[in-house]
Structure 1
Amino acid sequence: MRAARIALAAAGLALLGYGLHGWLTEQPGEVPGRIAFLAAGVAAHDFVVVPLVLTAGALTVRFVPPALRIPVQAALAVSAAVSAVALPFVIGAGRIADNPSAFPLAYGRGLLSVLAVVWLAAGLWAVQRVRRARRREHP
């Protein structure tokens, strides 16, 4: 097992080095912009995403019963990830007025459908957890 971990770590570092080399040598004039983009991503993560996740977790612990917490937290995390990916499509970021084929679908409706499935699955999971907890209480 140790040898496999070392091999995987070496392969990961090699791929990281390859990517970094390409990133720095491909169009070198764009490196400062790329560094600024990465810095903005780190700042957004640390000052926006982390506080939102911590707040959602604290509110969940405070207001959601223990048997329901894990399904609710999972559904919140999946909803946030799906919404973050879908948001540019929903708002039509980059849409060109003379090219109607660029965003041909109803992305808002699609996002709502995915979120409905996520929360339905979380609801079913929560019902299962509540039933299991009740069985343990009343054998």
Structure 2
Amino acid sequence: MRATLFALGLAALAWGGWLAVDFATTSWRDTWQSLAIFISAPLLHDAVIAPVVGGTALLLTRVLPPAWHTPTKTAAAATGVLALLAIPLLWHPFGTPTNPGLHDRDYGTGLLIALATIWLIAALTALITTKRRQTP
């Protein structure tokens, strides 16, 4: 079973690599766009997003009670991921040819709604956990 999953993973990796090379070699514009995606996104994550999320989680862990640790760390990680995914559309709204129904929304408001939902769920989870620990 492991060998089968390993082989399927390698096949998916090879297919993704093939598609990335095919996209990057189509035109100069696509080559630069590919470099921006495959180089700047990991650098942005490692240099900015991961330290901010880690520092926020560490700070919240020191300040909040134990029942709040896991929900706030999870919400902080999800916030970092959503922010990283939203940056291209917030920064340069139509980096790709427009697709009716796909690009006709307010991405800033959508991001704020998603983040509010995540943090609300984290707070409710922490409150429920705190309540359960207090009841005998």
TM-score for the superposition, normalised by structure 1: 0.69
**Corresponding position of 1:20:** 17
Q: CA RMSD in A?
A: 3.2
Asked whether the 8 Å contact 1:92–1:103 carries over to 2, the reply is no
Quickly say closer, same or farther: Cα 1:14–1:102, change in 2 above 3 A.
Answer: closer
Per the alignment, residue 98 of structure 2 pairs with: none
Structure 2 unaligned blocks of 5 or more: 96-100
- Offset of residue 5 of structure 1: 1.5
Alignment partner, residue 41 of structure 1 = 41
Give the partner amino acid of 1:10.
A
> Structure 1, residues 19-64: CA drift from partner, whole Å, max 9, x if none?
3244446627769754564233332222222212221121122211
Matched, 1:117 2:117: yes
2:126 alignment counterpart: 126
Q: Letter of the aligned partner of 2:47 in structure 1?
A: F
Q: Give the count of matched residue pairs.
A: 128
How far 1:80 moved relative to its partner?
A: 2.7
Structure number with larger C-alpha Rg = 1
- Output the CA distance in 2 between the equivalents of 1:121 and 1:128: 10
Using structure 2 for the length normalisation, give the TM-score. Answer: 0.70
Corresponding residue for residue 55 of structure 2: 55
